[in-house]
A and B are shown apart, each in its own frame.
Chain A
């Protein structure tokens, strides 16, 4: 025989359990609604598509040691740093293509970042405008490791990168290089990567030699 007080206690606990289950269900539904509202993935703005523009690439040729200006049409972002990276990516894609006159593996992904900073003074004898910029090109370690070794081939790569930047970003007056974010003595044993390459040393955008 179950005592009366135990029956009453059981009924109360059962009722409480049901009420708590209903409350929990309600809370879950509300949280679910809030989550759906917060994750609304419907586009609110149309994506921006960069328009194709003409870029001047100084393309190297190993057979005669020259840099040749070529015009290419490619989408260029408005942001100068992204723009510089896009231009250099196209240049290195040309070098990675089969049959390239200056063959270097890696392609566009070899340029990790291009940072644009205010250019430091380069000497009392050379005046530069206040908006002059230093481009710091951060190459990947795999690009440097796979680059063919040699004075000519390394010099051509460095100069084609520098002159392509000078041709497409007039505010850039100096270029420095990093590899995996660190300074490095040479590209692949020869070309000096410790110095700043100056626009004042740049070649005119026609045919020339390093």
Chain B
């Protein structure tokens, strides 16, 4: 969807909440070879079960399992991980964004699952890119990071395509993502389907889950390398 001409919505006026100046430093990365943090947000949890998947599986259970698996993979690759939940707990979208913002992460992934569509869906915020300012409106804080979020989505897309998965890229308005002050992408895993819409790998397929997790981990390693390269080229 084309959002490039979008102005900041009128919600700015309603949702103005000053974020702390430290957490809202301009997007250019604070990353360094010594510090590279990834936030994994397992969507839903607790009272919010999310979608109902095949074989009576709940979205909140799937996302937590994926978050745990991905955390292990990233930890093994030397990447520091902050998670928004480690158990079946109810976490409000605002709290998820707070956790991500305090982590000052180089990448934030919000993990989702759905029986609709096919393959992996990568969504970035539909907010129009904006110049970083010292204080951001809470509901549109992601606007200053949208450009980097799109770049992160591109890296994730490449890694997933490299493993032969179908990927759909899109923009959407998710409250948790819109308030994050980091490159943020919502990753929605759907069953893999053939051209005639037959399911070739369901969400309960362990091999499919592992393939997605490994591809996401590989993408984040690549994203870290890009960040380090960019930093090395700076005077």
Contact = CB atoms under 8 A, between A and B. Distances in A.
Interface string A119-157: 011110110000000000000000000001111110100
Given A152-B114, A201-B126, A125 B7 contact: yes
A151 B188 contact: yes
A43 to B, nearest CB: 48
A209 B169 contact: yes
A148 B48 contact: no
Contact of A150 (B1, B9, B188): B188
Contacts of A118: none
A181 interface: no
A116 B51 CA distance: 33
A123 B8 CA distance: 8
Contacts of B116: 62, 148, 150, 152-153
Interface residues on A, range: 35 or more
Centre residue among B10, B11, B113 by max chain A CB count within 10 A: B10
Interface string B1-31: 1110111111110000000000000000000
B10 A149 contact: no
B110 to A, nearest CB: 9
B51 to A, nearest CB: 3
Contacts of A123: 7-10, 12
B1 A203 contact: yes
B90 interface: no
A94 interface: no
A62 B193 CA distance: 11
B114 A210 contact: no
Q: Is the interface of A mostly helix, strand, loop or mixed?
A: loop
A151 B3 CA distance: 17
Contacts of B186: 151
B132 interface: no
Contacts of A67: 1
Interface in A146-180: 148-153, 155, 159
Contacts of A210: 1, 170-172
Contacts of A148: 51, 114-116
Contacts of A107: none
A183 interface: no
A190 interface: yes
A153 to B, nearest CB: 4
A89 B133 CA distance: 43
A63 B118 contact: yes
A19 B212 CA distance: 98
Contact of B117 (A65, A192, A203): A65
B168 interface: yes
Given A65-B117, A150-B112, A191-B172, A126 B188 contact: no
29 contacts: A62-B118, A63-B197, A65-B168, A65-B170, A120-B10, A125-B7, A149-B50, A149-B52, A149-B59, A150-B112, A150-B188, A151-B114, A151-B123, A151-B174, A151-B188, A152-B123, A152-B168, A155-B172, A155-B173, A159-B1, A189-B50, A190-B174, A191-B172, A192-B178, A194-B11, A198-B6, A198-B9, A200-B5, A201-B126
Interface of B: 1-3, 5-12, 44, 48, 50-52, 59, 112-118, 121, 123, 126, 168-175, 178, 186, 188, 190, 193, 197
Interface of A: 62-65, 67, 120-123, 125-126, 148-153, 155, 159, 185, 188-192, 194-196, 198, 200-201, 203-204, 208-210
Given A210-B1, A210-B171, 7 more contacts: A62-B116, A65-B170, A148-B115, A152-B168, A201-B3, A201-B5, A203-B2
